[in-house]
Amino acid sequence: MIQSGSWLDTDGLSRALLGWWKVSGRNYPWRARRTPYRVFISEALLHRTRAAQVQPVYEKFITQYPSFRILADSDQEELVSMLRPLGLFWRSRMLVNAARQIVDQYDGQLPEEKNELQLLPGIGSYISSAIRCFAFGFPEVLLDTNTVRVLGRIFSEKITDSSRRSHRFRSLGARLMDREQPANFGYAMIDLAALVCVPRNPKCQVCPIANYCRYGLSHRSELRRR
């Protein structure tokens, strides 16, 4: 049994989390083949949208628009029709405008630098970090409502509406980051939040990192006392 305080063993946490993810992580088509274009499209479609909704649209999208150049020349009405099931109707125009900018300024190749990515239409801090992590292998910390919840429980930190933009949470995320497998680690954190470390009644009894988490250690101790 790992003793309380072992949550500071970041290497152990990473190994446990990645081991769990290889067996229990979710399979999505955008994870199987992570080219910069495919990652860009998937992150744009996943913005404020459930993955189950995105999956069939993503596969159709990639088939019909397999590159930035083809997307830049796409018919706007066809694109709007394809993306209609996802809502957020501004997204179709954003994707076309971004594709045109990438073709015009970067010869159709997605830039790697964060400041350049954030100059593209619709690309903010989270999506630019996700692109750098999943497409280019940079150890980017991904902070959204769900991953912040996981970090808050691991380190027993108070979570507020501004935590996603907090330097404190970014520092905690960087502390845990597996720099040899940043993309897998990012997916593992996302899947842990979705499947185990859920908002209400988290499943600490089956959590792969409960012994490295202040909330998990406290929860298990409480269950043993009952």
- The Cβ of residue 106 has, within 10 Å, a number of other Cβ atoms equal to 13
Of 43, 59, 112, 157, catalytic = 43
Provide the token pair at 162. 């501004």
3 φ, ψ (degrees, to nearest 5): -80, 160
Report the Cα 77 to chain-centroid distance in Å: 29
Give, in degrees to the nearest 5, the angle at Cα 9 between 158 and 171: 45
In 3D space, the residue among 147, 129, 149, 148 whose CA is nearest the CA of residue 139 turns out to be 129
Q: Distance between CA atoms of 46 and 32, rounded to whole angstroms?
A: 16
Which residues are CB-neighbours of 123 under 8 A, at least 6 positions away? 98, 117, 131
Is 113 catalytic? The answer is no
Structure tokens at 70: 């083809």
The catalytic residues are 43
